[in-house]
Chain A
Amino acid sequence: MAKKLNIKDKYRLLTRDLDWEFSYQDRSKAFPYEAFEGIKITDWSKWEDPFRLTMDAYWKYQAEKEKKLYAIFDAFQQNNGHLNVSDPRYVNALKLFLTGVSPLEYQAYQGFAHVGRQFGGVGARVACQMQSLDELRHVQTQIHAISHYNKYFDGLQEYSHMHDRVWYLSVPKSFFNDARAAGPFEYMIAIGFSFEYVLTNLLFVPFMSGAAHNGDMATVTFGFSAQSDEARHMTLGLEVIKFLLEQHEDNVPIVQKWIDKWFWRGTRLLTIVAMMMDYMLPNKVMSWQEAWEVYFEEAGGALFKDLARYGITMPKYADIIEKEKEHISHQAWWTFYTHGHAAGFHTWIPTDEELDWLSEKYPNTFDKYYRPRWELAKKLEAKGERFYTSGLPMLCQTCQIPMLFTEMDNPGEISYRDHVHDGERYHFCSDGCHDIFVDEPEKYVQSWLPVHQIFQGNCGGPDVENILSDYYRMNLGADNLDMKGSPDEKRWKQWKGVA
């Protein structure tokens, strides 16, 4: 009788021994990128497989999930599911998602394929390959979930073209380009650990919860379907960091530096989520500050306590980040509101109920610093003078966000840092972004900064309007400007039979 194998042994026998010691070629030529980052791997065989899923089981489970998911998509389309969303303003969160986030899933597909080829250990490679396949799933199912909205709402139709060009979309794009341009180990700390393990609850979950709270059956069903994939990705992220820290003590300071960098990069990127949660969701899930406290301060705090035994400390700038949670969503939405003519989605003044909600959720900051701006905006709008700024914003050389953040101890003053490198002066939104640049200036001088590119004449022109319509391919008057009076709003009223 054949003996019974437990899952761990079976997986090891099926997968882990596929590799071999080379005799005919220099093995380091087959895996050439493992050494240059300074990470020391003494023994790949110590890698603990974070999930032991063989391909046959993967195909089976994932096919079941796809069958159910696409049945919902079909029903959603057949029954005009878009009519069930809470408010047409909600769809603008989807526009931000499809133009800003789905292309990151695509980059994750490419990034994990790359490291899934390059790591010298077969266990790590296979786990990354599976994540690559999952990430392809996510971008494709997101496109299919949102495809129906594209047929009835503006601003989604050029998501791919816009992702490569539009000013604010260079923020998420450059974030992921940065990780992919790094070596394979930094990529895993950036994406596998910092992003997937710690920050995913602040990106993926808010969008999907927003869909749930706002009647978006297609997107929330995708969210539920992707949950078990995400759980796998999180275990991979945690295994990566433990593995690197246990392999060699010299890895600890390198990993710490990457953690510091990628938490800062990550929190900057999450500014768009903060704004989405506080301003773009007609039915709120929770405030950004609440989400930050639950998912970062509590969950992340516990994690870093756990990692302390390896000598890892809380990410640098955690003290600044703690203060920012009460400010950034307001600063960001105000910036989009005032640049609403150049955005690929609609902006608006929060309703009075929403302003009251913000006052309640942000007792220390909203009434003091931000509510007065909206009261002013309301007055101007009532007079028929909806405000749009005419200038182009200066961008941070590192995170590429316009200089919209203030000093946290003085919210009336814009935070502004600079640094001279090779005779050129570079500008930053924060100490975090400044320090990241100074550590790797050769990388960040390459940033494709949309505003610089416009001024250099690389985006067409001569007017902003030409750039928006020709280079960005925005459908002016439909994709941009205020929600009020937009074709989206007019159609919605028609469908709903209201004047």
Chain B
Amino acid sequence: MSIEIKTATLEPVRNTFAHIERRFGDKPATRYQEATYDVASATNFHYRPLWQPDKLLQDASRTQLVMADWYAFRDPRQFYYGTYVQARAKMQEVAESNYAFFEKRNLARLLSDEQNAALIRFLVPLRHVEHTANLNNMYGTGLGMGTALTQAMLYDGMDRLGIAQYLSRIGLILDGNSGEALAQAKQHWMDDAVWQGMRALCEELMVTEDWFELLLAQDIVVDTLVYELVYKQWDAQLADNGAQDVAMLTEFMQDWWKDNQRWGDSVLKTAAAESADNTALMEQWISNWRGKAAEALAPLASEMLGEQALESAMAVLDKRLNKAGLFK
């Protein structure tokens, strides 16, 4: 049995906005569609930026990648602001209870001195890498094309700020809120030989001008390798050595990475499927950054995990690229 409440129905004059109708036909639209498509200004910009007088405010030539329609980059998660914050609020609720549990039971005391030092040396400095990722995604948000892609980069950028803050909290848990672990981790980031390749790479990313190249370098190449090495391989090693509780503190990053790969894969596929020129350009960019990232991560990976680690992370990256239609 079902019951039916009678409501007054009024025939609408139209189903949705005209630009949504032109794209998807005359039918009711989703909230993702109305919040995303053709929202950005597209023409008749008034003044050239004083900070980049050779470009328009919105200018497709800020990347070499060419798309007939920048709104082809549909987000498979269909994130607009409302769905984005609700998805992240759920994840942070789990994280909050994990962190509270970890602190309440003082699980840090179960870590050996060696493990404690390893977390400060290998995990906490990643907050600077996340900070770099934050800036690189903001770069694309500000200068990129089409809301479908720029809003997803903003969500990525803000996620990375959140992750940098979670990593900082791990430091504070380890040092009893003195800030000493954060200072030590920064020292590693600044001076420790295993990090210098990575720091140089981050600095290079931040002076890279082409925003789509930067998206590939950061969100695909560097992130795939770092997340594979740290949150998968190293996570397994910690678990094998009695430090499995640390996973409570990094579950957010693992869940986030699963979610983010869905978006990243779709960006790769969409851009590569557009044209052979795009595919060639992307392969050239990715090869370049893949080589640099491998070189930057090599000392870190071997110190953390041993000699085979980087190679297996590279295999994961290559498989991902292949699946998206690249390097076939």
A residues with a Cβ closer than 8 A to B are: 1-5, 10, 13-15, 17-26, 29-30, 32-33, 36, 54-56, 58-60, 62-64, 66-67, 69-70, 78-80, 83, 103, 106-107, 109-111, 113-114, 116-118, 122, 125-126, 129-130, 132-133, 136-137, 139-141, 143-144, 147, 150-154, 156-161, 163-165, 170, 173-174, 177-178, 180-184, 443-444, 446-448, 453, 473, 487, 491, 495
Besides A113-B142, A170-B46, 13 new A-B residue pairs in contact (Cβ under 8 A), listed by A number? A3-B177, A13-B172, A13-B182, A30-B207, A60-B89, A66-B86, A83-B10, A117-B138, A136-B81, A143-B39, A153-B13, A183-B50, A447-B47
**B141 in contact (CB, < 8 A):** yes
Q: Which residues of B contact A24 (CB under 8 A)?
A: 199-200, 203-204
Query: Which of A58, A66, A446 is within 8 Å of B82, CB to CB?
Result: A66
Q: Which residues of A contact B81 (CB under 8 A)?
A: 66, 133, 136-137, 140-141
Interface positions, chain B 67-118, Cβ under 8 Å from A, are 80-82, 85-86, 88-89, 91-93, 95-96, 103
**B63 in contact (CB, < 8 A):** no
Q: Which residues of B contact A160 (CB under 8 A)?
A: 17, 19, 38-39, 41
CA distance A472 to B60 in the complex (A): 23
Beta-carbon contact of B141 and A132 below 8 Å: yes
The stretch from B161-169, B234-242, B313-321 touching chain A is B161-169
Beta-carbon contact of A136 and B154 below 8 Å: yes
The stretch from B127-135, B222-230, B257-265, B280-288 touching chain A is B127-135
CA distance A20 to B134 in the complex (A): 14
Beta-carbon contact of B47 and A177 below 8 Å: yes
**B308 in contact (CB, < 8 A):** no
CA distance A67 to B151 in the complex (A): 20
Beta-carbon contact of A183 and B46 below 8 Å: no
CA distance A132 to B24 in the complex (A): 28
Nearest residue (CB) in B for A156 is B17
Beta-carbon contact of B80 and A56 below 8 Å: no
Query: Which of B34, B142, B165 is within 8 Å of A55, CB to CB?
Result: B165
Nearest residue (CB) in A for B91 is A59
Top 3 A-B pairs ranked by shortest CB distance? A55-B162, A63-B89, A114-B142
Interface of B is mostly: helix
User: How close is B99's CB to chain A, nearest CB, in angstroms?
Assistant: 9
Q: Which residues of A contact B190 (CB under 8 A)?
A: 20-21, 23
Q: Mark B169-190, 1 if CB is under 8 A from A, else 0.
A: 1001100111100100010011
CA distance A463 to B3 in the complex (A): 57
Given A55-B165, A67-B86, A126-B161, the answer on whether A116 and B138 have CB atoms closer than 8 Å is yes
Most A Cβ at <10 Å: residue of B142, B151, B168, B203: B142
Nearest residue (CB) in A for B163 is A55
Given A63-B86, A78-B7, A161-B19, the answer on whether A181 and B158 have CB atoms closer than 8 Å is no
CA distance A130 to B138 in the complex (A): 11
Q: Which residues of A contact B127 (CB under 8 A)?
A: 18
A/B interface sample: 26 pairs, CB < 8 A:
A3-B178, A15-B161, A17-B182, A18-B168, A20-B128, A20-B190, A22-B203, A24-B203, A58-B85, A59-B85, A60-B93, A62-B89, A67-B86, A103-B39, A113-B142, A113-B150, A126-B161, A133-B154, A137-B81, A140-B80, A143-B35, A147-B34, A151-B16, A153-B13, A156-B17, A448-B46
Given A443-B50, A473-B18, the answer on whether A144 and B31 have CB atoms closer than 8 Å is yes
Q: Which residues of B contact A18 (CB under 8 A)?
A: 127-128, 130-131, 164, 168
CA distance A32 to B12 in the complex (A): 51
Q: Mark B4-36, 1 if CB is under 8 A from A, else 0.
A: 000110101111111100000000000100110
User: How close is B271's CB to chain A, nearest CB, in angstroms?
Assistant: 21
Beta-carbon contact of B18 and A161 below 8 Å: yes
Nearest residue (CB) in A for B189 is A20
Q: Mark B143-168, 1 if CB is under 8 A from A, else 0.
A: 10001001100100111011011101
Number of interface residues of B (CB under 8 A): 84
CA distance A443 to B49 in the complex (A): 9
Q: Which residues of B contact A122 (CB under 8 A)?
A: 131
Q: Which residues of B contact A116 (CB under 8 A)?
A: 138, 142
CA distance A159 to B8 in the complex (A): 28
Q: Mark B183-217, 1 if CB is under 8 A from A, else 0.
A: 00010011000001001100110110000000000
Beta-carbon contact of A151 and B138 below 8 Å: no
Most A Cβ at <10 Å: residue of B38, B95, B157: B157
Beta-carbon contact of B46 and A181 below 8 Å: yes
Beta-carbon contact of A181 and B49 below 8 Å: yes
Q: Which residues of B contact A165 (CB under 8 A)?
A: 43-44
Q: Which residues of A contact B80 (CB under 8 A)?
A: 140
CA distance A446 to B12 in the complex (A): 42
Given A14-B165, A151-B13, A174-B46, the answer on whether A2 and B135 have CB atoms closer than 8 Å is no
Given A59-B88, A129-B161, A447-B47, the answer on whether A29 and B207 have CB atoms closer than 8 Å is yes
Query: Which of B18, B57, B135, B159 is within 8 Å of A177, CB to CB?
Result: B57
Nearest residue (CB) in A for B178 is A3
Q: Which residues of A contact B15 (CB under 8 A)?
A: 151
Query: Which of A152, A170, A180 is within 8 Å of B13, CB to CB?
Result: A152
Q: Mark B41-57, 1 if CB is under 8 A from A, else 0.
A: 11111111111000001
**B122 in contact (CB, < 8 A):** no
